[in-house]
Structure 1
Amino acid sequence: MHKKLQPFIDRYNEINELLMAPDITNDIKKMTALSKEQSSLADIVSKAKEYIKTIDDIEENKALLEDKELGDLAKEELKVLEPRKEELEEEIKILLLPTDPNDDKNIYLELRAGTGGDEAAIFVGNLFRAYVRYAEVKNWKVELISSSDSDAGGYKEIVALFRGEKVYSRLKYEGGTHRVQRVPATESQGRVHTSAITVAVMPEVDDVDIQINPNDLKIDVMRSSGCGGQSVNTTDSAVRITHIPTGIVVTNQDQKSQHKNKEKAMNVLKARLYELEMQEQIEKEGADRKAQVGTGDRSGRIRTYNYPQNRVTDHRINLTLYRLEQLMNDGVFDELIDPLIADHQARLIEANGL
């Protein structure tokens, strides 16, 4: 472990010296890049220094065990130091894991009604509001991008931008099929119905992340529909963008400005194309890589929400909580997400031989 940690300390110290060099202080771009790298190393270097000191302290106290005057004191010190050494080893293993380059990004969250008709659309609205409540708990911002209302309430589809600290790192585990079991309001016999919706989690991307050939786009301008006052009904502000090579279609009519709708639709298209690239890359890299990524396959059932039993079950880690009401109303998603992260980290530690 010591040999693995020393290069991090050496690089951190090297960056310290570089940041004081005149040629670097006069180059804002280099200085910013080095400062960012130094910041990314801060946690592992701090733990590494504590770990090395703890190892040295353990050796010193072991050498004193036979000393008549200091032996008892050394035993007491070792009772504290040895458990701390084990704690530090586990903390360092996690810090040594390869990081997901998307973890710090904002996300586009897309929910779509699947099997179950009106009941699925209603659950899209329920789950979206639960995610918004979770965002409030995390002090994230939510911006509605587009939505398609259902006649019975809820949404056939809704897309929103979630902005905040490490949004993707938390919500990337939500991608997949979510199944709901409950008695619909229209059910006169009291029978439990099963419906399903899909959730897609797409990192917000910059132009440097993905390039789009304008010749690959078909852009249609049309009249906005739905509520919004007279101006919505009398202006051709809605925009539909079709990416011809993939067949992906993005529609936006949330804004009265055609330009703003086009800009938002393009941003969602970039996110969808980026997600497609990520999935293709994962497929190419094979089963080992699939086992390591935290994002969910949209086609796979990941979770069941059973209302009669107040139960939510995550099928990936066989976790069941009887906290469905709190999950939907109070935004306690960390109770599901933290175990998923722990499981993911455990598999990564095993895969990387740490």
Structure 2
Amino acid sequence: MPLMVARLLSVDELFAKRSLQEYLKKMETEYDECLRETEEQSNEDELRARRIRASLLAPLIHSIRELNAKQKEFAETETLLKDEDPALRELAELERESCLQHIQDLSQKILDLLIPEEEADLSDLVLEVTAGIGGQEAMLFSAEMFDMYQGYAEHQGWSFDILEHTTSEIGGLRHASASISGHQSYKRMKFEAGVHRVQRVPKTEKQGRMHTSTMTVAVLPQPTEV
């Protein structure tokens, strides 16, 4: 029997799914109905329930409609790329790249909004990385991962305060930890927890042999004090 391997879908592949598009349209319809019923509803309890539901759906619906507008802009720039005027084509290319980035950001935002939030998702976090199997190469891998997380935190606008940083003889990391604070920091980082591995030829390998190295990531929620 052949081995069946599950593959995670990319954001673009998810949005190409008819089931997701139908669900988003259903959410838009529900939102419009809630708004209409708040104008027509006389029962106070029902009115309150509709207003609450509309406010919960609003961020998702606004993002969906902004995405639709950006997709129309993108289609228009695709048409302008065929124009005979080179200056106009150059301008369209710049606009196209900007639209594409907005589309990717909005698509990810919509997927995030579709995932129900847990209480811990609102927390800050402590990130820990520890070198595993592979000696010095595992420590180099740990250093690369820690630097990557620091760069990602900066890109997201989060604070990244290093708590511990134990290096190896050749610049790798035996262990390091950092406190990360910012909007949705734990929600976005929690799935990084676990064992990560890399297969490559180490810089210290003279015979060109492939080595496997591992490192462990721990992501610990830190509830914000009230």
**Equivalent-residue separation in structure 2 for 1:123 and 1:104 (angstroms):** 30
RMSD (CA atoms): 4.0
2:192 pairs with 1:174: yes
CA drift at 1:191: 1.2
Given that 1:12 and 1:41 are in contact with CA atoms closer than 8 Å, whether structure 2 keeps it comes out as no
Runs of 4+ in 1 over 6 A off after TM superposition: 1-5, 8-12, 46-49, 91-94
How has the CA–CA distance of structure 1 residues 193 and 12 changed in structure 2, closer, same or farther, with 3 Å as cutoff? farther
What is the match of residue 315 of structure 1?
none
2:196 pairs with 1:162: no
How has the CA–CA distance of structure 1 residues 97 and 113 changed in structure 2, closer, same or farther, with 3 Å as cutoff? closer
CA drift at 1:13: 5.3
The structure with more helix, counted as a fraction of residues? 2
Deviations 1:200-234 (A, max 9, x none): 111112568xxxxxxxxxxxxxxxxxxxxxxxxxx
Task: Show the 5 A alignment for 1:291-310.
Answer: none
Amino acid at match of 1:113: A
CA drift at 1:154: 1.5
Given that 1:44 and 1:95 are in contact with CA atoms closer than 8 Å, whether structure 2 keeps it comes out as no
**Equivalent-residue separation in structure 2 for 1:117 and 1:123 (angstroms):** 10
CA drift at 1:15: 8.7
CA drift at 1:169: 1.6
Deviations 1:176-212 (A, max 9, x none): 111011221211111111100011111112568xxxx
2:166 pairs with 1:148: yes
Amino acid at match of 2:137: E
Give the one of 34, 55, 62 matched to 1:42. Answer: 55
How has the CA–CA distance of structure 1 residues 142 and 186 changed in structure 2, closer, same or farther, with 3 Å as cutoff? same
User: Unpaired runs of 5+ in structure 2?
Assistant: 1-25, 39-43, 63-108
CA drift at 1:94: 7.9
CA drift at 1:146: 1.2
CA drift at 1:156: 1.0
What is the match of residue 65 of structure 2?
none
What is the match of residue 14 of structure 1?
48
**Equivalent-residue separation in structure 1 for 2:118 and 2:30 (angstroms):** 24
Give secondary structure in 2 for the equivalent of 1:102: helix
Give secondary structure in 1 for the equivalent of 2:179: strand
User: Unpaired runs of 5+ in structure 1?
Assistant: 18-37, 50-90, 209-354
Task: Show the 5 A alignment for 1:277-296.
Answer: none
**Equivalent-residue separation in structure 2 for 1:93 and 1:154 (angstroms):** 35
Count residues in correspondence: 147
**Equivalent-residue separation in structure 1 for 2:192 and 2:224 (angstroms):** 22
Task: Show the 5 A alignment for 1:1-354.
Answer: 14=48, 42-45=55-58, 98-206=116-224
How has the CA–CA distance of structure 1 residues 116 and 93 changed in structure 2, closer, same or farther, with 3 Å as cutoff? closer
What is the match of residue 344 of structure 1?
none
Q: Report % sequence identity.
A: 35
Give secondary structure in 2 for the equivalent of 1:142: strand
Q: What is the TM-score with the length of structure 2 in the denominator?
A: 0.53
CA drift at 1:11: 7.1
**Equivalent-residue separation in structure 1 for 2:161 and 2:150 (angstroms):** 10
Give secondary structure in 1 for the equivalent of 2:218: strand
**Equivalent-residue separation in structure 1 for 2:110 and 2:152 (angstroms):** 29
Amino acid at match of 1:153: G
Higher RCO (C-alpha 8 Å, min separation 6): 2
Amino acid at match of 1:42: S
The structure number with the bigger radius of gyration is 1
Give secondary structure in 2 for the equivalent of 1:127: helix
CA drift at 1:161: 0.9
CA drift at 1:125: 0.6
Given that 2:122 and 2:223 are in contact with CA atoms closer than 8 Å, whether structure 1 keeps it comes out as no
Q: What is the TM-score with the length of structure 1 in the denominator?
A: 0.35
CA drift at 1:46: 6.9
